[in-house]
Structures are given as structure tokens and as C-alpha cells.
Amino acid sequence: MMETDAMTEQNDSLPPCRHHESDERASPFPDRCHDHDACVAAALAAAERQCARRGARLTQARRRVLELVWRSHRPVGAYALLAALSEDGAKAAPPTVYRALDFLRAHGLVHRIERLDAFVGCPRPGEPHAGQFLLCAECGAVAELDEPAIDQAVARGAARHGFTVRRQTIEVEGVCPACAAKN
């Protein structure tokens, strides 16, 4: 989701994971050597910096929901988050989870995968970008894609029809490299 105030904020991309690198040849999907603990820690640190810059409070509940979202590279629904919080011993109700998710979305820390009604962590909080996602139909993995040409094509096409784009999410279903290698 593009946010106008995000245009002036510094880049808070997540550094340690190869699948977060901007190298066009690097796969946006995690590989077998992926250090997931480092990935989650980097996401939480970036969230703390993003919230501090914006003067927003990353409460314990919001931080835990974000951590649960980043726990895998698969979309997670609000009720799965609620169940995980309950397993932690937290007395959370659905409104608590939805408020946390609303906060995290508003601050560019998570994206909603519309067709699954689920959430994934954003590897580039604070950077203006539209949502482009690759969804693996085999294993459920999701990777965020950053292709400015797609954004530009959508904006040009919309402008030809007098339409102003406020938000766009593009979700592409297919097969990730790991699943393709298995077949």
C-alpha cells in the first residue's frame, strides 16, 4: 500500500535474508539456508524503528501479533493469530487481534492477502510500494514482489480511463522454486 507520508521516510528494508535482497536474480522466496530467527528479529527491529519515527506505540500485543505473522512466510489469518495468542496464555479477543492488525497495516508493517483474508509481514516498511504478491498454490508460501513497471502499467491504464489509483494489490498464484524443484 502506498502512503504519502512514507515518501519522506528513510528506507527500513530488512537486510539479512537473501530473499529480501534487491538483486533481480535473487528469488523472493526463502531458500533452504534461510535463517528465519534472524529474519523475524530484523522485522521486529525494523518495526520498532518505523514506529519510533512515526511516534507510534508498538505495544506488546502489537509486537507479538507481528512476530506471529513473521513466524513463517505463509499468510496467517486473524483467527489463527488469536489461537496462537491463546496458546501463549494471553487473554485476547478477536477485536484485540483486528486492532493490532489494523495498526500494523496502517504503519506498513504487514500486508493483507485479499483472496486469503490473511496477512504477511512487509519486508520494506517505510518504503512506498504497492502490493504485488506471488502465492505458491502448492505449499502456501508468499513472496512480495517489487516491480515498478507493474505499478506504472496499472497507473497508465487507470489514467486512460480517468481513474485515480489509491491502493492496489496484485496477487499472482503459481508454484514457488522449491515446489517446482520437487515436481
Reported as a pLDDT band with limits 50, 70 and 90, residue 26 is low
Q: What is the distance between the alpha carbons of residues 31 and 39, in angstroms, rounded to a whole number?
A: 12
pLDDT of residue 38: 87
For 90-101, b where at least 16 C-beta lie within 10 A, e where not — what string? eebeeebbeebb
Q: DSSP of 64-85, one letter per residue? A: HHHHHHHTSSS-B-HHHHHHHH
134-182 pLDDT, tens digit per residue, is 999 999 989 998 888 999 999 999 999 999 998 888 999 999 998 999 9
Say whether pLDDT at 10 is over 70.
no
Say what the pLDDT of residue 78 is.
96
CATH (one of 1.10.10.10, 3.40.50.1000, 1.10.260.40, 1.20.1250.20) for 4-182: 1.10.10.10
Render pLDDT for 124-135 as a digit per residue (tens, 0 to 9): 888 878 889 999
What is the structure's pLDDT at 146? Answer: 85
Nearest to 119 by CA among 43, 48, 26, 21: 43
Closest to 45 measured CA to CA, from 118, 141, 121: 121
* Cβ burial, residue 3 (10 Å; 0-12/13-18/19+): middle
Backbone angles phi, psi at 138, to 5 degrees: -85, -55
Domain ranges of the chain: 4-182
Give the model's pLDDT for residue 5: 35
pLDDT per residue as tens digits for the range 70-92 = 987 789 999 999 999 999 888 88
Residue type at position 84: A
